[in-house]
A and B are shown apart, each in its own frame.
Chain A
Amino acid sequence: MSKLGRVVEAVEKYNRFVLDQVKRARTDEKFGRELITRWSETKAKTPVTHTPTGLPLPRLALPEIDEPGEIARYLFGEGLPGEFPFLNGAYREMYLEPVRENELGSYGRNGDKNEVAAEMSPANRSKVPTRPPRQSRPPEEPTRLFSGLMLAEDTNERFHYLTQHQRTHRLSTAFDGPTLYGIDSDADGVFGKIGEGGVAIDTVEDMVRLYDGFDLGSPNFSASMTISGPAPIIMAMYIAAAKSRFGSKVVPKLRGTIQADIFKEVQAQNETIFPIEASLRFLTDMVEFTTRKLPRWYPISISGYHIGEAGSTPVQQAAYTLSNGFAYAEMFAGRGIPVDQFGPRLSFFLDCGLDAEYIALARVSRRIWAIGMRDAYGAGPRGQLFKLHTQTSGRSLIAAEFKNNLTRTAAELMLAYMNATNSCHSNSADEPFTTPSEEWIRLAAHGQAILLEESGIFKHTMNMLSGSPGMKAVERAVEAGILDEFREIERLGGVLAAVEDRFQRSQIQNAAHRYEQQIYDGTRPIIGLNRYRNGTDDIPEVKLARTPRAKQQLQVDRLKKFKKKNVEKAKHALDKLVDVVERGENCFPALLDAVEVSSLGQITGRLQEVVGRFRPMV
Chain B
Amino acid sequence: MAAPIRILTAVPICDGHDSAINTINLEFIRHGIEVIYLGYHRSVGDIVRAAIQEDVRAIGISSYNGGHIEFFAEVVDLLRKRGASDIKVFGGGGGTITHEDAIAMRRKGVEQIFFAGTSLTEMTDYVRDNYGKARKKRSLSKSREIELARELTEIEGTYGKGKRPARKRKIANPQPPIRNSKVIGFTGPGGAGKTTLIDELVLRILLRQPTARIAILSHDPSVVGEGALLGDRATMINSQNDRVFMRSMATRGQAGGLSPATHDCLALLAQSNFDYVIIETVGTGQEAMPFQKNGIVDLTVLVMNPDYGSQLQLQKIVMLDLADVVVVNKSDLQRARTAHSEIEQRLEQNRRAQRLIDTVAKRHRDPGVDRLFDLISADRTR
Residues in chain A within 8 A of chain B (CB atoms): 176-178, 180-181, 183, 188-194, 196-197, 269-271, 275, 278, 310-311, 398-400, 402, 432-435, 500, 509, 512-513, 516, 520, 529, 539, 542, 544, 546, 611-613, 615-618
Contact = CB atoms under 8 A, between A and B. Distances in A.
A400 B71 CA distance: 25
Given A191-B67, A398-B117, 17 more contacts: A178-B14, A183-B13, A188-B43, A193-B13, A193-B14, A196-B65, A196-B67, A270-B17, A271-B16, A275-B364, A400-B117, A432-B116, A434-B96, A512-B19, A612-B364, A615-B199, A615-B235
B40 interface: yes
19 contacts: A176-B66, A181-B13, A188-B43, A188-B45, A189-B71, A191-B67, A193-B12, A193-B13, A193-B65, A197-B66, A398-B116, A398-B117, A399-B95, A529-B117, A539-B98, A542-B98, A618-B39, A618-B234, A618-B235
Contacts of B95: 398-399, 402, 432-433
A539 B41 contact: no
Given A196-B66, A270-B40, A433 B237 contact: no
A616 B13 contact: no
Contact of A432 (B16, B45, B65, B96): B96
Contact of A399 (B15, B23, B94, B196): B94
B26 A539 contact: no
A433 B64 CA distance: 9
Interface in B62-101: 65-71, 74, 94-96, 98-99
Given A177-B66, A399-B115, A311 B19 contact: yes
Contacts of A189: 13, 43-45, 71, 74
B120 interface: yes
Contact of B116 (A197, A311, A399, A509): A399
Contacts of B18: 270, 618
Contacts of B94: 399, 432
Interface string B24-47: 001000000000010111011100
Interface of B: 12-19, 22-23, 26, 37, 39-41, 43-45, 65-71, 74, 94-96, 98-99, 115-117, 119-120, 196, 199, 231, 234-235, 237, 362, 364-365
* A-B complex: 5 closest residue pairs judged by Cβ atoms: A177-B14, A192-B70, A270-B16, A612-B364, A196-B66
A316 to B, nearest CB: 14
A509 B19 contact: yes
Nearest to A608: B364
A190 B231 contact: no
Contacts of B16: 269-271
A278 B364 CA distance: 10
B38 to A, nearest CB: 10
Contacts of A618: 18, 37, 39, 231, 234-235
B119 A611 contact: no
Contact of A544 (B13, B98, B196): B98
Contacts of B14: 176-178, 180-181, 183, 190, 193
B365 A612 contact: yes
B67 A616 contact: no
A448 to B, nearest CB: 23
A616 B119 contact: no
Contacts of B115: 399
A214 to B, nearest CB: 26
A400 B95 CA distance: 9
Contacts of A188: 43, 45
A399 B117 contact: yes
Contacts of A432: 94-96, 116
B119 A433 contact: no
A278 B362 CA distance: 12
A548 to B, nearest CB: 12
A310 B19 contact: yes
B330 to A, nearest CB: 10
B20 to A, nearest CB: 8
A515 B53 CA distance: 35
Contacts of B120: 516, 520
Nearest to B119: A520
Contact of A433 (B17, B96, B362): B96
B96 A615 contact: no
A94 B66 CA distance: 38
Nearest to A306: B16
A509 B21 CA distance: 11
Contacts of B13: 177, 181, 183, 189-190, 193
B98 A433 contact: yes
Nearest to A530: B117
A177 B13 CA distance: 8
B222 to A, nearest CB: 17
Nearest to A191: B70
A193 B66 contact: yes
Given A177-B14, A190-B14, A196-B65, A615 B362 contact: yes
A509 B365 CA distance: 31
A311 B20 CA distance: 10
A435 B17 CA distance: 16
A521 to B, nearest CB: 10
Contact of B23 (A190, A516, A613): A516
Contacts of B12: 193
Given A190-B13, A192-B71, A432-B95, A513 B26 contact: yes
Contacts of B44: 189
Contacts of A520: 119-120
Nearest to B44: A189
Contacts of A180: 14
A389 to B, nearest CB: 21
Contacts of A275: 362, 364
Contacts of B22: 509, 512-513
Contacts of B43: 188-189
A192 B67 contact: yes
From B19, B66, B99, B364, name the one whose CB has the most chain A CB atoms within 10 angstroms: B66
A539 B99 contact: yes
Contacts of B65: 177, 193, 196-197
Contact of B67 (A193, A311, A612, A613): A193
A435 B95 CA distance: 12
A444 to B, nearest CB: 16
B89 to A, nearest CB: 15
B196 to A, nearest CB: 7
Contacts of A512: 19, 22-23
Contacts of B237: 613, 615-616
Contacts of A616: 39-41, 234-235, 237
From A194, A520, A615, name the one whose CB has the most chain B CB atoms within 10 angstroms: A615
B200 to A, nearest CB: 9
Nearest to A229: B16
B284 to A, nearest CB: 21
B332 to A, nearest CB: 11
Contacts of A529: 117
